[in-house]
Amino acid sequence: MDKIKKYLPLVAAGLAALAVILGLACDAVVYGKDTMFETGQSGWETVFPAEVMAMIMVMPFLTFLLVIVGGIQSLKAYFDPENEKASYIATACFLVAGIFFFFFKLFFCNAADMSKDLKKEYDLGVGAIIGAICSLLAAVAAVLPIVMKKLKK
């Protein structure tokens, strides 16, 4: 069990990297969910919209930033196992980012100032869902070594 506990922060960092890569590359928001012709907008296009080059959508950007910070803190916890603070910070970052991934549709529709009828046509894409799941699993992997250490005492 100690061997597994040693590598859990590294697993959390790997899940964070997977969440960022898939969240940016795959469709984060999908339009036309009830029709045969579904079009999507990737996470990169959601964070940095092409219409306004100088604008960054703050909440999706914050989501990816939280996952990156959580991954860095997990690596810090891996290289310094006695540093419980880094694991707690990583867990908090991953939990908040996991919740924010599920709000991508809301962030996108409110930023675009859409009508209620048009908002119904949008749905979460695969990138946002996989990013949320990976982020929440990373939160569990980041806090599990501390929980196992506390239960051992």
Measure the CA–CA gap between 153 and 145, rounded to whole angstroms: 13
Which domain covers residue 96, as residue numbers?
2-152
Pairing mode, strands 27-31 and 39-42: antiparallel
Average pLDDT, the chain: 82
For the chain, which residues score pLDDT lower than 50? none
| CATH number for the domain harbouring residue 129 | 1.20.140.150
Whole-model pTM: value is 0.83
Element (H, E) at 92: helix 84-102
Query: Alpha carbon of 57 to those of 35, 77, 78, 108, 124: distances in Å?
Result: 27, 30, 32, 8, 16
Q: What is the pLDDT of residues 66-90, one digit of tens each?
A: 999 999 999 999 998 888 899 999 9
- Residue 108: the pLDDT is 73
Q: What is the pLDDT of residues 122-131, one digit of tens each?
A: 778 888 899 9
